[in-house]
Structure 1
């Protein structure tokens, strides 16, 4: 029996190899979409985490002096920690705010520490010059060098709390987070000597000593378990402390990647397919190479998640097997005599409206309940996001169940428009969609999932950007912010700046806010503030424009990766619609031949196929954009990405809807050309 079935299968494959090729192409693209989403998602996750993390990956454990009882001596603490068994190296992380002379403004600058070499160094290779090699040398941040004009070889004077000047030489320009405030980096001993504070001690472990063991030994030696963390715990805490938006985006990326795997399974279940993944890797590398080639700054390296890719392959293979069960059962129920009839008969006819609507309503109610639970009952934003994703999957299931009914409603609404615009081919396209609603619904459902995920992503990106910009506006209500030790000093300094006609100034508490006067360039206003701040005790200058530029760089890279996901969605749309139409036309050869026989021209057949694709694209785009924009808003709410209302990118969503319709029509080009070549006589003989 099995042999005869296999023989029939092979014979059918030899007779119509195009079916196998088309189904293979569809599964290829579905798996590429899931794998590519996983790759780009992990790349975005690594990029954002790298921007938020400060503790080096080589630090097995850290000590936080602020959590130790009393006020321990920093030097003694470093010595005690370094002597613990299993500690290979210990580096103190110091910070100070000395007055800098010889660099334009004598205001306070941020001075951080770094060992400059070894496993615990936090600095990347210098962009200019070299790293400091002695305590009387410093490196300057990239943005600070651009603002102040400092370059390797410059001599500046640092003055700490005790007022003793220290002349140092700038040796290099390094990439550090210095957009908002002027920043220098020196050896720990230099920063400590200028009155610096010890904020953290990074510890490297001896070979064979794991992080948890080392952290336990150090905690026991200090008698303060709460003051010691593993390096992994500290890096996770830094991500959470730096920005809730970063944490939220990381969670959302993970959920998006998981939904992409579900999307792959849905595409697989629509038409049986086989698996390829290498194209996804090539696509990911190609996207990042394109970003670098266009001059985009700070482009991350592609992160390859081998376990994740293996999971995508496993899901695709499993879905391929499971996808065959329902059609096989349906085929086994077809009587032999009926099997001699039209191959497409199984998909035609009116759907069981009542049963479908009941099941869809139940699923929709469950989806709504899950959404309510995510907003009101989740213990954490991360759990809430997972519940939102589950709600979205259930809602999609409701849409799939109600798909054939939805198609009839879509035809009732859009059919007259398509008929009016497309003439005879348009009327035939609408009639075909209504006559075979299950087939049309299958096309729409696959396309809807991709469009919906993209809509949610666009809402998330837009809301994250809006929230970050609002945060910067709140932190920097003016282009230049000057922090002073107390409100009295701030009022005095504001009075000094107010006398300068190049500036508009006001004070609020211990901060002074300065903007350029009308018609004054930003650089002139900045120079005026720096000149007035020279010699003013305790003045710390911060720059809103540079902080915003750094934000734009970070969000720009994240958005580019997000649009890479959008591009893959478009690819899925093209191939999904194209393959579905091609397979449909393969099974509708007799139907097409009859249309040709009764007078429909080749151009008319092609136009009919294009209008069918336009109808499917319109339904998928409208439903996907609306429903998943709502889920995007839910995601923003539960992750608390923005304090106010989420930002809905209406223009981007409108462009997405229009683009999906255009893409669907373009995807129909090859099927339409093939359909137009059908010969009435020959097709009737082969059918």
Structure 2
């Protein structure tokens, strides 16, 4: 009989596939997000990991100086070269001096390289010029040359530590992965003279020498058992470090994907409840012909499995299609070094399984409710729906417990933040999910208050349609609460992001104002040099200058444009080697650029969850309109126009959107402030009141727009046809 019940329900699904599509639409959207997150994460991890590997394949062994005592690091390359089996040993040094002579004096990266031979890290011959050979010669990275207009023959000044500034000549432009940081490369001898920090010693082996054996020989010769490791071990460590750099990002993205699945599950549970209510007579007939409650439950869950499988497979397929399409589009646009899409099939299979499980779990409560339908219901036409007054006492008690748990997790996150930011954010996410659970539990009770507060103005503005919309929302509090909860999740995430970005921006502005009391700050080595530089700059009528200790503070003179002031500062500071010129506008622009990128990524992630929520509004209203076909027909029969019906559905959506917007904005602001506190990214809380108000209004409008399709459908139902449907 169980097979027969399942067959009957699946036959109904085949007869009306639209219900299956509507029920699974939210799961499909959430699965696209989850699968896309997985593809994005694996591709990014692979790409950054690969680009982070700096040790060439020709390096057989690497000596780690930090594993040796300070007094054992002198002449390290010479001592390693004397070990049997070593063909060549080269020290890799690094230095971050202040570089003048190529625009404003800023911090650059200088590295050493043998320039030729098996241990060079230069991937190709010079683009222009000849490789440096002398102690006062350097090569500039190709990207740096484009940014600074440096070319062979130009000179720059390097200032590092307490030593005298050293002027060096650029002899070549070389292909160098500088990671966006201005970079120079010179010989190992030149770097030793500059005092660069010793990072490692690269070792090339004689033909036929095993790298592991060579590493062991070097360690023994240096008197430290772990002083050296193989080149392959070093490259694996660099790969791991590069992959770990995206872990924090992926944790955040994973949290959003999980929240999207939670939102989709709530929508699926609501839509299953509506669909099964519409099929009340079918369920009762199954009970009449002998189906037991357990068989009905298994039949409904079998339908949920089909729904989750179809929706999940569609979501995974769309994510793959979008991933390959994006890579192809980026390559077609001429972008260089675009990585190939990394597909982790086991992970995608896991996403599909999670989609099915989420759908089944969402359908469990409606399935149990369907199994309780008495057989006698098949003999009548009485309606059944989500109507009814919820048990307030039990819901309030459970919601209170969940709220206390959410508060406890929030307090725990503040404590954990001292040891691990990632763990603290996971705890914050857990607290938010528990708070969301409390909202779901208490939602039907809150609908009463929403109807009492927002219902009156809607009824006054909307007239008869508004009053009917308010009555519909109050009649089915569980369905209304489910829609509000899901939409509130999207609003809450957006609000949290807005509060976070606003707080970080306010904190950054405060820091910039403290660091830059004027538009330009020039740091010199001492007060005497600052006074001399200030006198030279003050001679230019385009500038207003004052010196304070080792710093010179400069503002444009009244009426002088910023570009003219910059030119004057550059000209005046060019005669002060090692002077570090910083512009408040540049720092502010960098902060804004960073915030803009973070905000763009954040809104992209939030947008997926919000999309799930909006889909939920549309799906719920569509099924609700279908369920109320007979009721709509009665309203049309007693004189309500098509426009009135459409207005009724739109006002109902607006009421739902208003409740979700207010609740979501409040919760989001709280968790946004908590997140900033946990991460320590903001010195003070900043609430963007106008932006949050615009968000609330926008959500109401979006909810009303999401109701357009079901509203039009409701208005087109002929009264006679509707009255014939039971």
Sort the Cα spacing of 1:607 and 1:257 in 2 relative to 1 into closer, same or farther, 3 A. Answer: same
Residue 679 of structure 1 corresponds to 718
Residue 200 of structure 1 corresponds to 199
Sort the Cα spacing of 1:178 and 1:331 in 2 relative to 1 into closer, same or farther, 3 A. Answer: closer
Residue 138 of structure 1 corresponds to 139
TM alignment of 1:133-282, pairs within 5 A: 133-135=131-133, 136=137, 138-139=139-140, 146=147, 149-150=149-150, 152-156=151-155, 166-171=168-173, 176=178, 183-189=182-188, 191-192=190-191, 195-201=194-200, 221=222, 223=224, 252-271=252-271, 273=307, 274-275=311-312, 276-282=315-321
TM alignment of 1:239-388, pairs within 5 A: 252-271=252-271, 273=307, 274-275=311-312, 276-282=315-321, 309-338=348-377, 345-376=384-415, 379-388=419-428
TM alignment of 1:75-114, pairs within 5 A: 75-77=75-77, 80=80, 92-95=92-95, 97=97, 110=108, 112-113=110-111
Q: CA deviation at 1:528?
A: 3.0
2:43 maps to 1:4: no
- For 2:558, what is the secondary structure of its paired residue? coil
Residue 27 of structure 1 corresponds to 27
Sort the Cα spacing of 1:113 and 1:544 in 2 relative to 1 into closer, same or farther, 3 A. Answer: farther
2:486 maps to 1:446: yes
CA deviation string 1:408-446 (max 9, x = no partner): 111111111111121111111100110111111121122
Are the aligned partners of 1:617 and 1:664 in contact in 2 as well (CA < 8 Å)? yes
CA deviation string 1:591-629 (max 9, x = no partner): 222222222222211111111111111111111121022
Which residue of the other structure, out of 518, 531, 536, is the alignment partner of 2:558? 518
Are the aligned partners of 1:65 and 1:198 in contact in 2 as well (CA < 8 Å)? no
Sort the Cα spacing of 1:195 and 1:252 in 2 relative to 1 into closer, same or farther, 3 A. Answer: same
Are the aligned partners of 1:481 and 1:513 in contact in 2 as well (CA < 8 Å)? yes
- For 1:402, what is the secondary structure of its paired residue? helix
Q: CA separation in 2, counterparts of 1:443 and 1:168?
A: 65
Residue 597 of structure 2 corresponds to 557
How many residues matched?
Answer: 670
2:414 maps to 1:415: no
Q: CA deviation at 1:197?
A: 1.0
Residue 527 of structure 1 corresponds to 567
- For 1:277, what is the secondary structure of its paired residue? helix
Q: CA separation in 2, counterparts of 1:287 and 1:561?
A: 16
Q: CA deviation at 1:400?
A: 0.4
Give the gaps of 5 or more residues in structure 1. none
Residue 653 of structure 1 corresponds to 692
CA deviation string 1:53-76 (max 9, x = no partner): 977487999877577533555652
Q: CA separation in 1, counterparts of 2:623 and 2:79?
A: 73
Q: CA separation in 2, counterparts of 1:204 and 1:259?
A: 50
Sort the Cα spacing of 1:213 and 1:488 in 2 relative to 1 into closer, same or farther, 3 A. Answer: farther
Q: CA separation in 2, counterparts of 1:343 and 1:121?
A: 84
Sort the Cα spacing of 1:493 and 1:72 in 2 relative to 1 into closer, same or farther, 3 A. Answer: farther
Which residue of the other structure, out of 628, 639, 664, is the alignment partner of 1:624? 664
TM-score normalised by L of structure 2: 0.77
Once the two structures are overlaid, the 10-residue window that deviates more, 505-514 or 575-584, is 505-514
Q: CA separation in 1, counterparts of 2:202 and 2:518?
A: 40
CA deviation string 1:362-386 (max 9, x = no partner): 1111111211222246543332222
TM alignment of 1:482-561, pairs within 5 A: 482-561=522-601
Which residue of the other structure, out of 624, 630, 653, is the alignment partner of 1:590? 630
Q: CA separation in 2, counterparts of 1:119 and 1:597?
A: 89
2:444 maps to 1:390: no
Once the two structures are overlaid, the 10-residue window that deviates more, 66-75 or 535-544, is 66-75
Once the two structures are overlaid, the 10-residue window that deviates more, 600-609 or 68-77, is 68-77
Q: CA separation in 2, counterparts of 1:124 and 1:556?
A: 34
Q: CA separation in 1, counterparts of 2:425 and 2:671?
A: 10
Q: CA deviation at 1:201?
A: 2.5
CA deviation string 1:194-250 (max 9, x = no partner): 5141252276999xx99999999987856397999967877998999x9xxx99766
Sort the Cα spacing of 1:36 and 1:164 in 2 relative to 1 into closer, same or farther, 3 A. Answer: closer
Give the gaps of 5 or more residues in structure 2. 272-303
Q: CA deviation at 1:519?
A: 2.8
- For 1:347, what is the secondary structure of its paired residue? coil
Q: CA separation in 1, counterparts of 2:519 and 2:224?
A: 47
Are the aligned partners of 1:430 and 1:612 in contact in 2 as well (CA < 8 Å)? yes
Q: CA separation in 2, counterparts of 1:681 and 1:238?
A: 68
Residue 662 of structure 1 corresponds to 701
Q: CA deviation at 1:499?
A: 3.6
CA RMSD of aligned residues (A): 4.7
Are the aligned partners of 2:140 and 2:170 in contact in 1 as well (CA < 8 Å)? no
Residue 430 of structure 1 corresponds to 470
Are the aligned partners of 1:381 and 1:640 in contact in 2 as well (CA < 8 Å)? no
Q: CA separation in 1, counterparts of 2:317 and 2:583?
A: 45
2:497 maps to 1:457: yes
Residue 601 of structure 1 corresponds to 641
Are the aligned partners of 1:480 and 1:543 in contact in 2 as well (CA < 8 Å)? yes
Question: Which of the pair has more CA radius of gyration?
Answer: 2
Q: CA separation in 1, counterparts of 2:649 and 2:359?
A: 27
Are the aligned partners of 1:40 and 1:561 in contact in 2 as well (CA < 8 Å)? no
Are the aligned partners of 1:137 and 1:171 in contact in 2 as well (CA < 8 Å)? no
